[in-house]
A and B are shown apart, each in its own frame.
Chain A
Amino acid sequence: MSLSIEEVHRIALLARIEVSDAEALAAQRQLNEIFSLIGEMQAVDTEGIQPMAHAQSALLRLRDDVVTEVDQHALFQSIAPQVEGGLYLVPKVIE
């Protein structure tokens, strides 16, 4: 399997990464090398093996449903570029 240059641009758009044509070509080459490695791995017979969800064989730890956090918005907002009335301000995005 290999990626077309259009697919590389599409992935860059989805990830919100701006790439020049030269960068896209380089990324295409690198990604296709990764795909060829994956192709080699796919030669292994995995029939009947449960897909792995996590590299560790541990299980999820759960916490009790208790409120432990306190209001720290003033501290957090001290590094925000723009704030008003407790809200973070961002460039307008309407879908």
Chain B
Amino acid sequence: MSANWEIVIGLETHVQLSTDSKIFSGSSTAFGAAPNTQASAVDIALPGVLPVANRGAVERAIRFGLGVNGGLADNINRRSEFARKNYFYPDLPKGYQISQLDLPIVNGGEIAIVSPTRGEIKVRLTRAHLEEDAGKSLHEDFHGMSGIDLNRAGTPLLEIVSEPDMRSAEEAVAYARALHAMVRWIGICDGNMQEGSFRCDANVSVRRPGEALGTRREVKNLNSFRFLQQAIEYEARWQIETLEDGGRIQQATVLFDPDSGKTRVMRSKEDAHDYRYFPDPDLLPLVVDEAWLDRVRGELPELPQQKRDRYVSAYALSSADAVALTQSRETAEYFEDMVDVLGDDAAKTVANWMMGELAAALNRDNLDIPRSPVTSRQLAGLLRRIRDNTVSGKLAKDVFDAMWQGDARGEDAADLIIEKRGLKQISDVGAIETIVDQVLAANSKSVEEFRAGKDKAFNALVGQVMKASKGKANPAQVNEILRRKLS
């Protein structure tokens, strides 16, 4: 495979909205109920029923529109329409899905991401529209038949379509993660990918830089960030190899098989669905007025971008720090809680610990921040002891590990561990002098070398003192006392 190909990716993401009831009926949307116990006459499409739209679903779409547009409402259509998307499948009992086509509720917006190669970029959103989910087909063997569970039929979805602004699988994953964080941040989706609350389709094409867009293939139903990455990498490589071998790319819908790591064609353009959309005569135009928009805007939390700007200006953090600290609302809350306790000047230290020790431990144990064994108050308690020189920065890491293992509980866990393990820093001048004297006596060679002008020898002596004190001597004092004694 030669270099000099550009991969172009756009994502369509189905986000399940966190309403209690369905988008057009009063059935529960709770996950995991016994089959068909949450499927009403509307959901199973008995004759004569009519859909009645759920205000909560519409409101979540509005929150999204505001959230991806810096709180402005110029991307929200004051009047939108529902349409019927017609196709036949057993888990779609009406024979059509109610969706939006010509006038979706949201047009435009953007998601900021950090690209590994291009730095901070904005991925533009084309649109976001409301629609209902279909039921579930179970193809295990029921005497050669398929089983249909319509509990999911009518669950509200927001389909979010991005522009083809991504240029690598890493950027696509960064976008999907940022979008996932956003929908959870503004409280419109639980983000549970195992339960299908957040699923991506990736439109992938390749071209020579500067040329027109290549023919795209759509990889359907990617329900983890890892599969998204693998599927795009495989698909792009396959397209490049096909073109380099003199082949042509045919527009198609493909499925990713996680077991083989490959994509395979589900349907080609010739037998693509012809959905014959038309405005749904059962539903009138959806109108959103200014009062409603104002109320929803007033209820929005501070958005990730707003927080980032504030962290940079108020705490003098770098842009990269600010992005890392706003990966999720819980991460930002953890950070802000610690800064509340320790004061604004501690912000940089807090950020370093969160992105260093804490992130590494979370990563190692495959946990997210809400499930961190070390709470923000416990970590703040530890940083306070570093600041007042009770414990050295080095031994603080041991204290952190002990807190992580649950050696002590409560907000004063750090103090308890420092006490119990005798990790308290030695800042008593007399005590340090005693150790220094012993070290100097035992290391006359280093002392001679230092006096002969070898600076390295000094560091060796510091090391010996620290070792003799089991890491507990205050390093600044050790330096000072050594210099004094050697001069």
Contact = CB atoms under 8 A, between A and B. Distances in A.
Contact of B146 (A14, A66, A76, A90): A90
A63 B55 contact: yes
B337 interface: no
A49 interface: no
A65 interface: yes
B225 to A, nearest CB: 25
Interface string B273-313: 01010010101111100000000000000000000000000
Nearest to A63: B52
Interface stretch (A24-32, A38-46, A53-61): A53-61
A89 B36 CA distance: 12
Interface in A42-90: 53-56, 58-69, 71-73, 76-77, 82, 84-90
A53 B149 contact: no
B468 interface: no
A65 B56 CA distance: 5
A89 B147 contact: yes
Interface stretch (B21-29, B117-125, B186-194, B244-252): B21-29
A56 B280 CA distance: 12
Nearest to B26: A68
B28 A69 contact: yes
Contacts of B90: 88, 90, 93
A90 B148 contact: yes
Given A64-B56, A86-B34, A90-B148, A54 B142 contact: no
Contact of A54 (B26, B276, B285): B285
Contacts of A60: 53, 283-287
A76 B46 contact: yes
Interface residues of B, number: 53
B36 A68 contact: no
Q: At the interface, is chain A mostly helix, strand, loop or mixed?
A: loop
A85 B35 contact: yes
A18 interface: no
Given A60-B286, A62-B55, A76 B41 contact: yes
Contacts, number: 127
B190 to A, nearest CB: 15
A95 interface: yes
Q: At the interface, is chain B mostly helix, strand, loop or mixed?
A: loop
Contact of A67 (B20, B266, B276): B20
Contact of B39 (A16, A61, A73, A84): A73
B150 interface: yes
A93 B146 contact: yes
B35 A89 contact: no
Interface string B340-352: 0000000000000
A82 B145 CA distance: 10
Nearest to B59: A65
Contacts of B20: 65-67
B21 A67 contact: yes
A71 B35 CA distance: 10
Contacts of B267: 95
Given A60-B287, A88-B147, A93-B89, A67 B27 contact: yes
Contacts of A77: 36
Contacts of A85: 35, 147
B104 to A, nearest CB: 13
Contact of A87 (B35, B41, B86): B35
B281 A87 contact: no
A54 B36 contact: no
A71 B37 contact: yes
B215 interface: no
Contacts of A14: 86, 274, 276
Contact of B26 (A58, A69, A82, A87): A69
Contacts of B283: 54, 60
List 10 A-B pairs, minimum CB-CB distance, nearest first: A65-B56, A68-B26, A87-B147, A86-B35, A62-B55, A69-B40, A73-B36, A60-B284, A88-B148, A71-B37
5 contacts: A54-B283, A60-B284, A62-B52, A89-B146, A94-B146
Interface of B: 19-21, 25-28, 34-41, 44, 46, 52-58, 81, 86, 88-90, 103, 137-139, 142-150, 266-267, 274, 276, 279, 281, 283-287
